[in-house]
A and B are shown apart, each in its own frame.
Chain A
Amino acid sequence: MRGLRRALAPLFAARGLPRVLLWVGISLTAVFVILAVFAPLIAPYGFDQYAADGVRFPQQAAPSIHHLLGTTVQSDDVLSRIIWGARTSIEVVLLALLLSIVVGVPLGLVSGYFGGWLDRILVLINDSLIAFPYLLLAIVIAFLLQGSIGGGVATAAFAITVIYIPQYFRVVRNSVLSVREEPYVEAGRVLGAPPRTVIRRYVFANVVQSVPVLASLNAADAILTLAALSFLGIGIDPSAAAEWGYDISRGIDDAQAGYWWTGLFPGLAIILLVTGLTLVGESLNDSINPLLRQRRFTAMAMPKAGLEPALAPETAGTSVIKVRDLRVWYGSERGPVQAVDGVSLDVRQGEMLGVVGESGCGKSTLARGLLGLLPAGAVRDGLVEFDGRNLVELPSEEMRWLRGPSLGMVFQEPMTRLDPLMRVSAHFAEALRTHEPELSDTEVRRRSLDALAGMGIPPTRFGNYPYEFSGGMRQRILIALTLVLGPKFVVADEPTTALDVLVEAQILEILADVKRNFDTSILFITHNLGIVAEACDRVAVMYAGRVVEQGPVSAVFADPQHPYTRELLASTISLRTTGLRYIEGSPPDLLSPPSGCRFHPRCPDVMAVCSERFPPSVELGGGHPVECWLHV
């Protein structure tokens, strides 16, 4: 019962257009299944009946009230042949699928479970069969079987079966293999308990998911193969049953004489049924394949601002980027996610501003919100002022021209941020040519090599592919790639998280140099407070989409004013740490953040007011605003 529910679940999981396609497919298939099952009741005549009540039907009569789809050269009623043809097709397909499942599934189980030479031989045969032109295989088998058992439904089904056995074999074998390698099954085996039930349950669940997909796609294919066999004259014997492919082959001769209906209608029948089955298979596949599963955010209207805008720190110096009450919301299936909810901050020229906070508090969304790199369906509002313009209101094409020459970004995971198929040189050429098309080849080369040299990458590596570099080197290449365009403002989103400590120090040094030498402003996102203390001038502490405290690093770290900052600092590990501290609980679900102060459920200093009203932003002096009732 659970298996059945699981198999049926995808039918209801899809939404929108994919769901429509799925149900169109199901309906088309259902129509033909009904025709096939009730053919004796629905079809006006027999499949090779050429006369009724002793009167012979007219030959090659055009569609009329007597013969809705016309008649053939043998005086057969075309409509009846189509309905009986549905029965033939579905019989053959069902028989073929049943045979391939009955043979393929046990073979796959045995091969996967026992492994060894048996597995190797079966896999080799299997792979070779898959490579073989399937129609040829079917042709040869049908050709051979016709000599012995004649051209009936069974012959056609056998011929088609051989094509599909390897597919079921592969699915089942692979799922057995993958469960065999699961740690808990492995552990059970070591302990002497063959975990058959685990394997059985897992494989069953897998088969229940993939077999319907395979079966419906194979059914579609089988109908085409059957039609092809009959078209070539080696499928169903025309005297045994009606078959669409055979009718089309007759129809080609008829069409030359102007009798279009004998070939057209069986062709349409094939198209409709095959389309129906393919739609079912593909929709099911879409809903079980995690890589294809819909992950689109639904576009939504920005809710009205609910919270008081946070204060930006009063600071001296020119701001390169000025953020006021920035909000970024994603529409998700469960509702709007308030990832960044009213953030105000400034990044001054030649300054490094650290943004810290636990995972999931909106740091990365803030970074992408500043550069306009949000996924479809996300909404922004507020002010991001750069060069006298509000980036939030800038058309996307103008925003694109700013990304690169004015605004840069360095990402967390350097291993996957370079295009694996492009040489390093091509990455530089692409970036430079996009923004400065007038550059000559030599200038592109000189600028790129200069930027790389600054990061300690020798010119001999310029023509290499990304896979030829280590993670640390890739991150330096990516930084060079960002800096070669000379941006005034760079967002570094946890650029060292994926790297080891020595490389981390190297990257930090590089960023500090960049700031010093080019007067570049950097927004440095991290959850490592040590890095902030070492490298940043000022710090902003984020919690649940808000900046709860910001100010000069020295002031904030020496005397944290927000309980969250204090807890965060207390839970860092240093040489003096004697015990591990952590903050109880976890950051709130941004779908429905807590009422009042968002930190109140975890706050050690919580007061009555905290859960009721949102705390105002209070400037403590020296450019150090805090959002906490303790300071009101």
Chain B
Amino acid sequence: MASSTTGSLRRYLVTRLLLVIPMVFILLTIVFILMRVAPGDPIQASVGAHLSPAQLAVREHQAGFDKPLLVQYFNYLGQVFTGNFGTAITDHQPVTQVITRNGGATLELTLAAMLVAVLVGIPLGLLAGRMRDTWIDVSSRLFGIVIYAAPVFFLGLLAQELFGRKLGWLPTSSQASVLTQLDIKPHTHLLILDAVIDGKWGALPDLLKHLVLPAAVLGLTISGVVIRLVRVNVIQTLRGDYIEAARARGIGERGVVVRHALRNALVPIVTITGLQAALLMSGAVLTEQTFNWPGIGNRLVFYLEARDYTAVQGIVTAFTLAVVVISLLIDVINAWIDPRVRY
């Protein structure tokens, strides 16, 4: 029995993977078109002011901007395929290296934020759905709406003000103090994981302290969406026939709500949360900017200000691929929760 279940799961995932390919192509094409229809000359836009026309031509040739658009398009696809996004125009850093190095910090932040969002959002949404139209429901919903209505960077400002400066409990900027940063050898670029790998337990308190505020701010914003999702779906599953049947067998209210209603509600919740990956990343860009977190979003803003096309294109592509990977992951999770999906 078990082997046939895993077999069908694998088959399902292979099919799903094949379906992703056209989506990746379309997204990459959109990125390419966006970056290339831009009026003006990319090199000139970034560093043009300081260069002679001859130097400019050399740089353009290096970056491949003098080739026909179609050639550039296939070069771009080739870059994506080989994972080599070229060299940033402004600071001559290999873009791929920027993505892996700073992507680790972003991953650390988003994972922690997701944890906060789930820990806050699921219980509140569940309570709201179960106690529908009572004051508990209304206050959880209002909390969700207001917290989502607050720009991440504004919440960040308030948190920095309160916990950083007024109370002095937590650092308000960067991923680690300088000493810790020097102490840790980067393997995965998720500093917490790297510290654990090398057994540097002493660095953990410092790392966690730096993580608390950004993760809480981003996580709370997203919890607003999670509350709404859980509430709506729990209200719907609580009307399920199997819920009444479970009650008729004397199953306790907690079992009914958590084991049956919440678990069944999770399928749509996970799907939509997956679609919200876009939201998570958009929030990450802003959170990193607010807390000076050395993530990939932080770099993106830096290169945007420098008008560095090569770097911007590489980073945007990386975000795009991340969205695709997340949507695949979500499908795996759903297939794992719901036997009907993999059937």
Contact = CB atoms under 8 A, between A and B. Distances in A.
A362 interface: no
Interface in A120-146: 124-125, 127-136, 139-141, 143-144
Interface string A400-422: 11111100110101001111111
B168 interface: no
Interface in B255-289: 255, 259-260, 263-264, 267, 275, 277-279, 281-283, 285-286, 289
B264 A420 contact: yes
Given A124-B26, A132-B278, A282-B145, A408 B304 contact: no
A413 to B, nearest CB: 6
Interface stretch (B27-35, B69-77, B192-200): B27-35
A373 interface: yes
B232 A411 contact: no
A131 B278 contact: yes
Interface in A370-423: 371, 373, 400-405, 408-409, 411, 413, 416-422
A267 B154 contact: yes
A234 B148 CA distance: 22
B246 interface: yes
Nearest to A148: B39
B40 interface: yes
A270 B149 contact: yes
Given A249-B153, A421-B263, A434 B250 contact: yes
B274 to A, nearest CB: 9
B312 interface: yes
B7 to A, nearest CB: 15
Nearest to B25: A128
B249 interface: yes
Contact of B27 (A17, A128, A139): A128
A251 interface: yes
B149 A275 contact: yes
A66 interface: no
Given A132-B27, A132-B30, A124 B22 contact: yes
A227 B150 CA distance: 10
Interface stretch (A29-37, A445-453, A477-485, A610-618): A477-485
Interface in A295-319: 296
A245 B151 contact: yes
Given A16-B133, A17-B138, A270-B151, A434 B339 contact: no
A18 B150 CA distance: 22
Contacts of A420: 242, 264, 338-340
Contact of A431 (B242, B249, B267): B249
Given A140-B312, A401-B250, A417 B242 contact: yes
Contact of A128 (B30, B241, B259, B263): B30
The size bracket of the interface on A is 35 or more
Interface in B232-264: 232, 235-236, 240-242, 244-252, 255, 259-260, 263-264
Contacts of A22: none
Select the residue from B133, B141, B153 with max chain A CB neighbours within 10 A. B153
A118 interface: no
Given A140-B312, A274-B149, A18 B289 contact: no
B290 A467 contact: no
A463 B150 contact: no
Interface stretch (A86-94, A255-263, A541-549, A586-594): A255-263
Interface in A467-504: 467, 478, 481-482, 485
Contact of B301 (A232, A248, A478): A232
A510 interface: no
B247 A373 contact: yes
Select the residue from A133, A278, A296 with max chain B CB neighbours within 10 A. A133
A224 interface: yes
B243 to A, nearest CB: 8
B290 A252 contact: yes
A125 B263 CA distance: 33
B139 to A, nearest CB: 11
B170 to A, nearest CB: 15
B332 interface: no
Given A275-B146, A278-B149, A135 B250 contact: no
A271 B149 contact: yes
B252 A132 contact: no
Given A131-B27, A134-B278, A418-B245, A270 B165 contact: no
Interface in B201-250: 228, 232, 235-236, 240-242, 244-250
22 contacts: A128-B27, A129-B30, A131-B278, A132-B323, A136-B300, A139-B304, A147-B45, A148-B38, A231-B153, A231-B286, A249-B153, A251-B157, A255-B161, A267-B150, A271-B154, A274-B150, A292-B236, A411-B241, A411-B248, A418-B245, A421-B339, A478-B245
Interface of A: 16-18, 21, 124-125, 127-136, 139-141, 143-144, 147-148, 220, 224, 227-228, 231-234, 245, 248-249, 251-252, 255-256, 260, 263-264, 267, 270-272, 274-275, 278-279, 282, 291-292, 294, 296, 371, 373, 400-405, 408-409, 411, 413, 416-422, 430-431, 434-435, 463-465, 467, 478, 481-482, 485
Given A16-B133, A21-B142, A421-B264, 9 more contacts: A124-B26, A134-B279, A135-B278, A139-B285, A139-B304, A228-B153, A232-B301, A404-B250, A417-B242
